[in-house]
Copies of this chain bind each other. A is one copy, B any other.
Amino acid sequence: MYSDDWKTPQDELLRRCQVFQRHLTAQQIDMAIIVQNADLFYLTGSIQQGMLFVPCSGEPVYCVRRDLDRARLESALSQVVAAPSPRQLADFVREQFGMTPETLGFELDVLPVTFYERLKRSFAEVAVKDVTPLLRRVRMIKSPFELGRMRKAADQLAVVYEAAKNTLREGISELELSAHLELAARLAGHQGMTRMRAFNGEFYGGHVLSGAAGAHPTFCDTPLGGTGLTPAVAQGAGQRVIQANEPVIIDFLGAYQGYLCDQTRTLCLGGLADELRQGYEDMVEILWHMEKIARPGVSWGHIYDSCLALACEMGHKDAFMGSAGAQVGFIGHGIGTEIDEFPFIAKGFNDDLLEEGMTFAFEPKLVYPELGALGIENTYLVTADGVEVLTRCPEELAVV
């Protein structure tokens, strides 16, 4: 029912699971119970409603409440069974895995309190640990299979970029431009939704911001918010009509088979004032600086510190990564099936090192309250000796 390459192969799933199990064993967690959609998709290839039981060794078992037939079709795991009732959970685990776990792992950063307490009540006197940090460590290293999907998401972004250049004109509103780029993305196979892990995050996958509207900070932990159409959403394209000689930010997610790629390009009608043009070129230079220093073994925090220092040297202390007073403490973020994965190219992560196979978006941006926002963003893969860019659109300011 999907296009040809949709299924996550069994060896891919089992390899992911084995890496996760090594972390469980190291942390003395007998079993993890995984339920959140992004994590479930990563470990089963499906998001059908249920729970994945991952013992610290042996085969995982995907217990499905709804829809079991679909889960059996979608998941390449060999154990896909009907979910037991909450009361039978402990018995089920004992019979299925031949053990009574003393320590259980849950995704405590995303499980709602009520849901978690109901689940935990099924297991008398068990110790609980948060397995999210472990699973994020597993998920942050991408396989060739995953990278293939991210490259296809990047292809969508090339389509969006061309559509932006072809659609931008004086007098078009942010909303109208955004709507046409959303159309272009969908027709290029965008899956229609994207995921952010953070509670209340709600990033929805495409920001078209122009002039001063690009400078509005908002609730999300992003350098650029935009107005949106309403305070109920408070981000993204708004009603503002786009004029000549102002920066237009196109910050979009591609999304293919669950995997995301993130790209920002700055466009303008008829050119920008010298100060803004120089600012844009500085952001590209910071991007290139990151490309030179990023490689396995360099800390996430070092890249942040080094690029921030360069931005300050260039005189952008007050406008870098947000308007003054609303600046964010990162320049990049890991990306995969969620937009806020490890690594964080952020202040303070001095003991966390880049590793081969990580993917992250890097987005040096400037925000001037009166003039608007500009900048650039690519998604990168960490290779054996540097980084490879996945988003391949031209990096110069696009003057239309």
Contacts and interface: CB of A to CB of B under 8 A. Distances in A.
Interface of A: 1-3, 6-7, 35-37, 41, 45-49, 66-67, 69-70, 74, 106, 108-116, 130, 175-176, 178-180, 182-183, 186-187, 189, 191-193, 199-200, 202, 204, 213, 216-221, 225, 227-234, 236-240, 256-259, 326, 337
Given A1-B238, A216-B70, A217-B70, A231 B45 contact: yes
A52 to B, nearest CB: 13
A211 to B, nearest CB: 12
* Interface majority SS (helix, strand, loop, mixed), chain A: loop
Contact of A239 (B3, B45, B49, B202): B3
Question: How many copies of this chain sit in the oligomeric assembly?
Answer: 2
A74 B1 contact: no
Contacts of A7: 231
B219 A192 contact: no
B258 A232 contact: yes
B66 A189 contact: no
Given A191-B228, A191-B229, A228-B192, A110 B112 contact: yes
A233 B202 CA distance: 16
Nearest to A40: B200
Nearest to A73: B231
Nearest to A108: B113
A229 B153 CA distance: 13
Q: Which residue among A2, A41, A213, A337 has the maximum number of chain B CB atoms within 10 Å of its CB?
A: A2
